[in-house]
Every structure is written in structure tokens, then in C-alpha cells.
């Protein structure tokens, strides 16, 4: 220590000033990157509170039209018979809405069917009201879960890495305990809900009654989506910040490098998988859909790009074709399932 002090004292004042300045700049850069990484983490995982359906100002026409469609569908949906359910998982109260099938509506293949319809990131369950109505019109019952970190369910953080996908299986088990328990399930997810559905597709504990997974605009992994979101930043800025953000996910969410991703899970899928993606999606790139489709291990799979659709707006753009393509795929999946059975 004494020798080091002697060396330092021997250095010219100008050199010492430059060393201290460089050290200060390095510390400032590291502090900035930590702050940026924390901002990324909070942006991705911060709890989503209840929302209304008032559209934000200056929305593009495509999104504004969809907001209006959802608002009308929501009001219509809540006039129909439904139940608020809750369950406890990991000390959290999770909630969902159950809509029983409508009397007098023909059932698919003459069997009791339930669609589990999963909302997207920072969204509310009733944002999928048009999809719920679509399934009800086809003779399904429908369950709408509120994912962890989304009101009215509990949880301080959003599980954007989709590591709590077994919450969906727990809900299905509750539905199966009803007197009108379904003969089969369909799992239909949008955006982060689609990523959850893809995670479930290759899970070893996948319920046997689940006959089809439909994933609209899902991402391939949390890391890949994070890289896409910050692609406009300089590499020297974005890479350290992403490293710190990943570290925060490890520390505060319990994630690890060994965690499965939608991409690795869909490779293990045996259940039929339909992947839908808007061709003009700039939030989750359309290229991820092709990557997921190519990786998918299911013997029955389908990829459909919706021309002109932005993120989570394929239903808005395609309309009746969207309904028909989904139902046609479910019909094929049911045919394959009962042929095997």
C-alpha cells in the first residue's frame, strides 16, 4: 500500500486529474446503465391496475376502431350470465370470469367445450370480449383469467417471462370440477397471453383435455423481446442495460438462465398449435411467428400472417375470416384428437 501511495504521489498532477476524471466517468456510466436497466425492468413488470376502455388520444384509426369494438362487446358480454371466480396460488388471490355456454347453441362436435382466453401484457381480461363472444356463439363456455400482476388479481409484478403458466392449469382443474365439466379445452392467448399459451403447449403437466393452443402475436422469449424493444439504442448503451435488467428479473422475479421460453416449450409441443401474427406488427416482430412455427414440434400446426394488421389487431382487420380460421383449426384439432382417442 505504501509503494502504491508513493507511485501515485509521483504522478504528475495532470495525469492524476485524468485518472480521477476517467474513474468518475466510468462510475457515472455504470450508474446510468443500472438506472436504465432498472427502468426497463419496471416498465416490463410493473403491476397493471384496472383500466376503462376510453381510448388514448391520437390513436391510429385501426386501433381506435378496435377500442370501440371492444367497448361495445364488453357491454354486451357483461349482460350475459357469468360468474366471478377466485383461487389462491403462492399466497396470491387470482381472479377470473366464467361464462357458461348458452342454452340452445349447438356445441362443437356435440361435446361440452371450454375456451380459456388469456389477455395480453398490461391489459385487462375484458379486452378480449370479442373473442369471448365468438366462442360463446360457437357453443363454448369461456373462462377469462386475470394474470398475476393484473388487476383484479394479486401480485406486485407482471410475470412477463411466463414462468407461472401453471396458473392456467389450476384454473382448468377448477373448471373440470363443475357438474358441466367440459369434454375438452382450447387455450387461446393474445400477445403475452399467447406467450403463456405457447409455454403451456410443451409442458409435461399439460391437461389431457386440452386439444388446441391458439397463439396470436406471441413473443419467442423475454430476452428476444427485450432486445427488439431497445433495438434503436446504441449497442454500448443497450447491452449493459439489458444485462442489468436481466439481473433484476433474476433477483426480484426468481427467473434464471435455465428457465424455458415459448420457443423452447413449443418445440416440445404435441398438442395442435395455431400461430397467428399481424404482418405489420412492430411491437412483437412478425419474424418471431415464423421462428416459433419452425420450432413447433406438434404434428398439427398452422401459421397465419394477417396482412395489414398491427400488434394484437388481427381480429380487427380480418373479422369473419379470423373467426372462421380459428374454428376451422379447432375442428381439425378435434378430429385429430378423437381419431387418436
| pLDDT, greater one: 297 or 340 | 297
Q: Confidence band (pLDDT; 50, 70, 90) for 13?
A: low
Distance CA 274, CA 113 (A): 18
**pLDDT at residue 21 above 70?**
yes
pLDDT of 7: 52
Distance CA 151, CA 105 (A): 32
pLDDT in tens, 76-96: 999 999 999 999 999 999 999
Q: Confidence band (pLDDT; 50, 70, 90) for 160?
A: very high
- The CATH number of 57-221+261-340 is 3.40.50.1820
Distance CA 202, CA 94 (A): 23
pLDDT of 166: 95
Distance CA 23, CA 36 (A): 20
Question: pTM of this prediction?
Answer: 0.91
pLDDT of 24: 85
Least confident of 14-23, 164-173, 303-312: 14-23
pLDDT of 19: 75
Distance CA 87, CA 145 (A): 11
**pLDDT at residue 28 above 90?**
yes
Q: Whose CA is closest to 197, among 102, 128, 100, 250?
A: 128
User: Which residues are CB-contacts of 260 (< 8 A; sequence separation ≥ 6)?
Assistant: 199, 202
Q: What percent of the chain has pLDDT over 70?
A: 93
Q: What percent of the chain has pLDDT over 90?
A: 79
Q: What is the CA radius of gyration of the chain?
A: 24
Distance CA 132, CA 14 (A): 71
pLDDT of 131: 97
Q: Whose CA is closest to 248, among 46, 31, 41, 43?
A: 41
pLDDT in tens, 244-271: 999 999 999 999 999 999 999 999 999 9
pLDDT of 56: 73
**pLDDT at residue 149 above 90?**
yes
Find out whether 220 and 262 touch, Cβ atoms under 8 Å.
yes
Distance CA 311, CA 299 (A): 27
The structural domains of the chain, with segments of one domain joined by +, span 1-46+223-255, 57-221+261-340
User: Which residues are CB-contacts of 238 (< 8 A; sequence separation ≥ 6)?
Assistant: 227, 230, 231
Q: Whose CA is closest to 131, among 197, 45, 58, 207?
A: 197
Preceding amide of 152 cis, omega within 30: yes
CA torsion, ordered 168, 84, 68, 325, to nearest 10 deg: 40
**pLDDT at residue 170 above 90?**
yes
Q: Confidence band (pLDDT; 50, 70, 90) for 5?
A: low
Take residue 236 and report the three cell numbers written for it. Answer: 454500448
**pLDDT at residue 1 above 60?**
no
Find out whether 182 and 109 touch, Cβ atoms under 8 Å.
no
The strands making up 113-118's β-sheet, listed across from edge to edge, are 83-89, 92-99, 141-145, 113-118, 184-190, 210-216, 273-278, 301-306
pLDDT of 9: 58
Task: Indicate the DSSP class of residue 97.
Answer: E
Distance CA 246, CA 36 (A): 12
Distance CA 137, CA 141 (A): 10
Give me the mean pLDDT over the 136-163 stretch: 97
Give me the mean pLDDT over the 46-54 stretch: 83
Q: Confidence band (pLDDT; 50, 70, 90) for 10?
A: low
**pLDDT at residue 195 above 70?**
yes
Strand partners, 274: 214, 302
Write the CA distances from 86 to 175, 178, 179, 267, integer angstroms: 12, 14, 18, 32
Task: Indicate the DSSP class of residue 100.
Answer: P
Q: Whose CA is closest to 333, among 299, 297, 290, 294?
A: 299
**E strand or H helix that includes residue 21:** helix 13-45
Amino acid at each position: 500500500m505504501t509503494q502504491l501511495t508513493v507511485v501515485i504521489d509521483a504522478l504528475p498532477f495532470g495525469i492524476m486529474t485524468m485518472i480521477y476524471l476517467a474513474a468518475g466517468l466510468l462510475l457515472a456510466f455504470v450508474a446510468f446503465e443500472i438506472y436504465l436497466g432498472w427502468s426497463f425492468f419496471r416498465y416490463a413488470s410493473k403491476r397493471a391496475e384496472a383500466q376503462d376502455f376510453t381510448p388514448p388520444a391520437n390513436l391510429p384509426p385501426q386501433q381506435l376502431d378496435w377500442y370501440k369494438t371492444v367497448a361495445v362487446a364488453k357491454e354486451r358480454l357483461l349482460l350475459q350470465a357469468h360468474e366471478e371466480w377466485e383461487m389462491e396460488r403462492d399466497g396470491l388471490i387470482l381472479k377470473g370470469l366464467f361464462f357458461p355456454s348458452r342454452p340452445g347453441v349447438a356445441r362443437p362436435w356435440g361435446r361440452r367445450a371450454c375456451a380459456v382466453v388469456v389477455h395480453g401484457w398490461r391489459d385487462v381480461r375484458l379486452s378480449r370480449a370479442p373473442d369471448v363472444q365468438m366462442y360463446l356463439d360457437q357453443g363454448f363456455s369461456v373462462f377469462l383469467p386475470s394474470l398475476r400482476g393484473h388487476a383484479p388479481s394479486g401480485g406486485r409484478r407482471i410475470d412477463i417471462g411466463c414462468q407461472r403458466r401453471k396458473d392456467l392449469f389450476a384454473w382448468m382443474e377448477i373448471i373440470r370440477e363443475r357438474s358441466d365439466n367440459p369434454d375438452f379445452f382450447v387455450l387461446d392467448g393474445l400477445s403475452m397471453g399467447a406467450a403463456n399459451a405457447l409455454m403451456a403447449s410443451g409442458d409435461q403437466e399439460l391437461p389431457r383435455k386440452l386439444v388446441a393452443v391458439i397463439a396470436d402475436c406471441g413473443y419467442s422469449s423475454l430476452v428476444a423481446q427485450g432486445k427488439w424493444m431497445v433495438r434503436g439504442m446504441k449497442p454500448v448503451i443497450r447491452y449493459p442495460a439489458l444485462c442489468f435488467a436481466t439481473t433484476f428479473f433474476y433477483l426480484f422475479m426468481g427467473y434464471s438462465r435455465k428457465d424455458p421460453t415459448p420457443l423452447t416449450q413449443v418445440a416440445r409441443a404435441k398438442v395442435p398449435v395455431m400461430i397467428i401474427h399481424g404482418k405489420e406488427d412492430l411491437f412483437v416482430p412478425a419474424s418471431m411467428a415464423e421462428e416459433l412455427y419452425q420450432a413447433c414440434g406438434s404434428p398439427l400446426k398452422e401459421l397465419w400472417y394477417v396482412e395489414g394488421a398491427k400488434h394484437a389487431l388481427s381480429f380487427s382487420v380480418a373479422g369473419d375470416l379470423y373467426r372462421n380460421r380459428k374454428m376451422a383449426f379447432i375442428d381439425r384439432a378435434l378430429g385429430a384428437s378423437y381419431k387418436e382417442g
